[in-house]
Structures are given as C-alpha cells and as structure tokens.
A and B are shown apart, each in its own frame.
Chain A
Amino acid sequence: MGTGHRLRTQPSGLPWILPAFVLVVGLIYYSVGYTGYISTLEWDGLSPEPRGVGLGNYDALLHDPVFWASIRHTVVFFVVTFAVQTALGFTLAALLHSRVRFPTVYKVIIFVPVVIAPATMAPVFRQLFAADGQFNSLLEAVGLGALAQPWLAQSGTALPVIMAIVVWQWTGVTFVLYYAAMSQVDPEVLEAARMDGAGNVRTLVSIVWPAVRGTTGALATLSVIGALKTFDVPWLVTIGGPNHATDFLGTQIYRESIPEADVGYGAALSVMLLVLAIGGALLVGIRGLRRER
C-alpha cells in the first residue's frame, strides 16, 4: 500500500528526461535512419536526383578488398593496442605503487598525452617518423642506424607506428584505472603472500592481476569501441595509406563520402560499422546489467 501511494503521488519524470532524449534520438536516430536510406543510393551528396541502387552498395562493399583490409586492421589494432596498453598500464601502476621517488612526476608524464588532441600531435608524429625524422636520428645515435627506415611510407611499418601512437596516447587512462584498482587490494593479503614466500612477480601474477580483473574487462570493452571509432590518428598521420595499409572503417567512410563524393557507398560502410558498434553496445549493456544484479 505504501509504495502504491508513493507511486501515485510521484510526479511524472517525462519532462525531465525529454531534453536529453530529444537531442539524442532526434539527432542520432534521425541520422542513422537517414544513413540507411542513403546507403541504397548512388549519390554524390549534392545532385538533386540520386539514383536508387537497392543493395548494390552492399554488394560492392562485400567485394571491396579495402573494406576487408579495414576490418582486418581494426581487429589487429584492437588486439595489439589492448595487449600493449594493458601490459604497460599494469606494470607502470604496480611500479608506482612501490617505493619510487617523485611518483607524481611519472604520473603526469604518462597521463599528459591523454589530454592533448590527436589532431594537435599528428604533425609532430609525421615529423618524428619521417625518413629524415628524429626517430631515425635517435636509432643512428644509439648505433641502430641499420634499422632506420621511412616508417610511415612503407605498408609494413605504417600500421605498427599508428598503433604505437595510439598506445602512447591512451596508456594514461589504463594506468590511472589500474592504479586506482590496485589501491583497493587488501594490504593484508599481500603481506600474507609475502610471508608465504611469494616473490614480487609471483605476488603480481597470483594476487594483484586477479584482483584487478574487473578493470581489465572494462578496458577491453573500451578498447573494442575505441578500435571501431579509430579515425583521427590514421587520417592525420598517414591518410589511411600507404596503399590503404592504415585504413580503418572511419578513414574509409570519410574518404568515400567527402573527397570521393560517393556518399551512398560511404553510407553503406557506415551501416556496417554501425552494426559492429551496436554489437559492442549490447556487450557494454550486458556487462553493466550483470554488474548491477
């Protein structure tokens, strides 16, 4: 009875959620629906008479080697950046939870890349990894001159460089999250492990790593979404090249839609990306629900 009464007197919340809802649904759902429609057209985006081609764009897409290359790059990108970021973030967090001098200085250095726009750093990285850039000079200075090469101009090295830049950018987040998670590890458990004769590495692997599993899971989800969203770094540093070696769905969609003015095809690619992203969204939702229960 009590709750029923409370429910009746509780005022409606609809006007409260409406502004956010209208903005998100109005803009995003409208755009997504529109994209779906455009994806059935052959259109340059401006001509008043687009030509309907049904599922033609999707058919073309499935036979487009660049599309499959983009998918492949996204998968490789996710696996590599996630693994490297996790390893670095975890290690750095553990190190800075130890007795190190000037911990704040290290924390700031690792986190600063997170706040700088990829667009701002792009010219720096283009210069750094150029054939006559500082990275090659550095290699020569330490006696590894034989390894010097035009990093961004070769298909084989461009993608690894793009991944390195993204790892540079995002380790700060991984690090901060692991650092916070490690603060929650019970010191008594660590002490007990030490008493039982467990060394540093053993303690990290058997006690700390399992204790921060929740963080690792959350980071994996973030990395999937991040990989699907990848655009700024490959577009600004290599324009998806050389020879599509650093193309992702994002860069491909932009190129097809704007410079190539093949808006219908770009939209079909967008729909594919959307399907993958919604898969990711459901994953996030399910994770969230499971945690709430």
Chain B
Amino acid sequence: MFETRSVRGRILLQVVVTLLAIPYLYPLVVAVQGSLSGAGWGNYRAVFAVGTIPTFFYNSILIAAGTIAIVYVCTMLAAFGFSKLRVRGKEVYFWMLLVALTLPEVVLLAPLFVTTLKLGLYDTRTAVILPLAALQLPFTVLLARRFVDGVPTELFEAARVDGANTARAFWHVVLPLTRPIAAAIVVLTLINAWNSYLLPLLFLQDPAKQTVTLLPQYFVSQYTNDQTKVLAAAVIAAIPAIVAYLCLQRLFERGLSAGALR
C-alpha cells in the first residue's frame, strides 16, 4: 500500500512498523521477565510443585471439548435444516436464534446460578459447558447456514436420486463440503471456551474442577505477596494458546475474525 522508492523510505517503513508492533510484545516480555525475577526458574518449579496445574488444564480441556462437540453437532444439523430443508416458519426460528446473538453472558448470571443449584448442577463442568454452547450457537449457526446456502441444492438432489436419504446426504455431502467453515467454528469455539472466565468463576468452586483462566487467581490466593509466582502461573496458562496459534496461524486468524467477514 505504501510505495517506497528509496532505501531510506523502506528503512523508515520498517522502523515505523517495528515501533507500532513493540507495544503488542511488551506486556508478554514483562510477564516472562517478571516470572523469572527473584528465584528465576525456581518460580516455575514452585508453581508446578503445588501439583494442581495438570488438573486445571485437564478441566479446561474437558470443558472445551464438551463445548466444541455440542456446538459442532448442533450447528451442522441446524445449518442444513435451515438452509436446505423445509421447516414451517423457518425464518421465525432463525430470528429467535439471532436475537440471542449479542446477549452478554452476565445477564444469565442470576437465573443460571439459582437453576444450577436447584438441579444439583452447581460445581459441575456441565454447568459451564451448556451455557457456553448455548451462547456460541446463534453465531455459529448463522455462519454455517450462510456457508451451506452457498452449496448448490442440485448436489443434494443428485444424492437423493442416487437413493440416499436426507441423513446420508447430510453425511456424504454437507459434512465434507462444510469443512472450511467447520474448522473456523471449532477454532472460534475452542478459544471462547478455553478463555471463558465468568462462567467457571461462577460455577466452579472446587479447585479440582477449576479451569486455566482461574489459575492466576488461584495462585494470587496461594502466594499473596509473591507476584513472581503469580506471573509464572500466568505464563504457563498462556503458553498452550500461543503454541496452538503458532501451529495453526491461518485457521486462528480466519476463525477469530469470522464474525465480521460476512
């Protein structure tokens, strides 16, 4: 976009980009530096020695996997139904989903709290997974429906002439063709579930069930005066997300910006 004819121009461009990018890196450098000050790597050893870190990760993995499974299955079924099948009053149902699109999760706080207590779901992972999935669905259904809308209807009819029923058309036509949007949906749901804070904070009291996002807070209460351990815990919590992003850059960038793409 910027045309640079001279060497000086190009150097200037490089300097400007670097200066703009440094603030994005700076907090991460501070985190790593802070976590290594004082006892150095000993901070990490101390944090691991508490022994709860694998539990926090295990819980986050379970919650993310559960949410992704529910969101993927419900989204794909619904996208096919809305896009290619006959449903009386279809657009009314669709709008009912869309209205929930912008719903801030904090609005659900009191009723979910009371209801989970009544149903005996308080302090269970289910109490986190179900609302996470419900909050994700309006958006993923919208995305997937738009994608399936773009698949020519003739493909399904061809499948049906071949003697396949609707379910087989779904399995053999829809699922393979929607892989690109499914990947975006999985990544988006993964990040939202992995990074969710309010719902685990609200529903998970037992440290044996808590998630990675609650890890720094947990260590704040463990070592009130030792900021270095807390920062070490924060770095540990951040690493898997960063590694996953570095491995799947394109997918992450597409998935996380899918919201505004269409």
A interface with B by C-beta (< 8 Å): 7, 10-17, 19-21, 23-32, 34-35, 38, 45, 88, 91-101, 106-125, 127-128, 134, 168, 171-173, 176-177, 180, 182, 190, 194, 200, 203-204, 208, 215, 218-219, 221-222, 225, 228-229, 231-232, 236, 249-250, 253-254, 257-258, 263, 266-267, 270, 273-274, 277-278, 280-281, 284-285, 288
Q: Could you tell me if B115 and A171 are in contact, using CB atoms closer than 8 angstroms?
A: no
| A95: chain B residues within 8 A (beta carbon) | 1-2, 13, 16-17, 20
Which A residue sits closest to B74, measured CB to CB?
A20
| B261: chain A residues within 8 A (beta carbon) | 177, 180, 218
* B52 part of interface (Cβ distance < 8 Å): no
Q: Which B residues from 41 to 92 make CB contacts under 8 A with A? A: 70, 73-75, 77-78, 80-82, 84-88, 90
| B86: chain A residues within 8 A (beta carbon) | 7, 10-13
| B242: chain A residues within 8 A (beta carbon) | 112, 115-116
Question: How many cross-chain pairs have Cβ atoms below 8 Å apart between A and B?
Answer: 313
| B246: chain A residues within 8 A (beta carbon) | 108
| B28: chain A residues within 8 A (beta carbon) | 112
Given contacts A20-B77, A123-B234, contact A12 B85 (CB under 8 A): yes
* B152 part of interface (Cβ distance < 8 Å): no
Q: Could you tell me if A168 and B102 are in contact, using CB atoms closer than 8 angstroms?
A: no
Q: Which of A21, A107, A127, A172 contacts B78 (CB 8 A)?
A: A21
Given contacts A98-B4, A106-B21, A109-B25, contact A117 B194 (CB under 8 A): yes
**Nearest CB of chain B from residue A105's CB, rounded to whole Å:** 8
Given contacts A21-B97, A24-B97, contact A123 B138 (CB under 8 A): no
Q: Could you tell me if A27 and B104 are in contact, using CB atoms closer than 8 angstroms?
A: no
**Nearest CB of chain B from residue A193's CB, rounded to whole Å:** 10
**Nearest CB of chain B from residue A134's CB, rounded to whole Å:** 5
Given contacts A35-B111, A110-B24, A250-B106, contact A20 B137 (CB under 8 A): yes
The 7 A-B residue pairs whose C-beta atoms are closest, nearest first, are A13-B85, A16-B81, A34-B111, A13-B81, A117-B195, A218-B260, A20-B78
> What is the bound-complex CA distance between A16 and B10, given in angstroms?
56
Q: Could you tell me if B104 and A250 are in contact, using CB atoms closer than 8 angstroms?
A: yes
* B114 part of interface (Cβ distance < 8 Å): yes
**Nearest CB of chain B from residue A36's CB, rounded to whole Å:** 9
| A267: chain B residues within 8 A (beta carbon) | 110
Which B residue sits closest to A291, measured CB to CB?
B262
Q: Could you tell me if A17 and B198 are in contact, using CB atoms closer than 8 angstroms?
A: no
| A128: chain B residues within 8 A (beta carbon) | 27, 30
B interface with A by C-beta (< 8 Å): 1-4, 10, 13-14, 16-18, 20-21, 23-25, 27-28, 30-31, 33-34, 70, 73-75, 77-78, 80-82, 84-88, 90, 93, 95-115, 130-131, 133-135, 137-138, 141-142, 166, 191, 194-195, 197-198, 202, 212-217, 220, 227, 230-231, 233-234, 237-238, 241-242, 244-246, 249, 252-253, 256-257, 259-261
| Most interface-central of A15, A92, A100, A171 (chain B CB within 10 A) | A100
Which B residue sits closest to A182, measured CB to CB?
B1
Q: Could you tell me if B111 and A194 are in contact, using CB atoms closer than 8 angstroms?
A: no
**Nearest CB of chain B from residue A208's CB, rounded to whole Å:** 6
> What is the bound-complex CA distance between A30 and B24, given in angstroms?
41
Given contacts A25-B96, A121-B27, A125-B27, contact A116 B241 (CB under 8 A): yes
| B73: chain A residues within 8 A (beta carbon) | 19
| B215: chain A residues within 8 A (beta carbon) | 120
| A120: chain B residues within 8 A (beta carbon) | 195, 212-213, 215-216, 234, 237-238
| A24: chain B residues within 8 A (beta carbon) | 96-97, 100, 134, 137-138
Known: A15-B81, A28-B134, A284-B101. 8 other contacts (CB 8 A): A13-B80, A19-B73, A23-B70, A34-B115, A35-B111, A97-B2, A111-B245, A281-B101
In the complex, 9 of the A-B residue pairs with CB atoms within 8 angstroms, ordered by the A residue number, are A12-B86, A28-B100, A93-B1, A101-B14, A108-B245, A116-B241, A121-B238, A249-B106, A281-B101
> What is the bound-complex CA distance between A30 and B14, given in angstroms?
54
Given contacts A120-B213, A266-B110, A281-B101, contact A111 B252 (CB under 8 A): yes
Given contacts A24-B134, A112-B28, A124-B231, contact A253 B109 (CB under 8 A): yes
| A228: chain B residues within 8 A (beta carbon) | 102, 104
Q: Could you tell me if B260 and A258 are in contact, using CB atoms closer than 8 angstroms?
A: no
Q: Could you tell me if B20 and A91 are in contact, using CB atoms closer than 8 angstroms?
A: yes
Q: Could you tell me if A270 and B109 are in contact, using CB atoms closer than 8 angstroms?
A: yes
Q: Could you tell me if A284 and B195 are in contact, using CB atoms closer than 8 angstroms?
A: no
| B133: chain A residues within 8 A (beta carbon) | 23
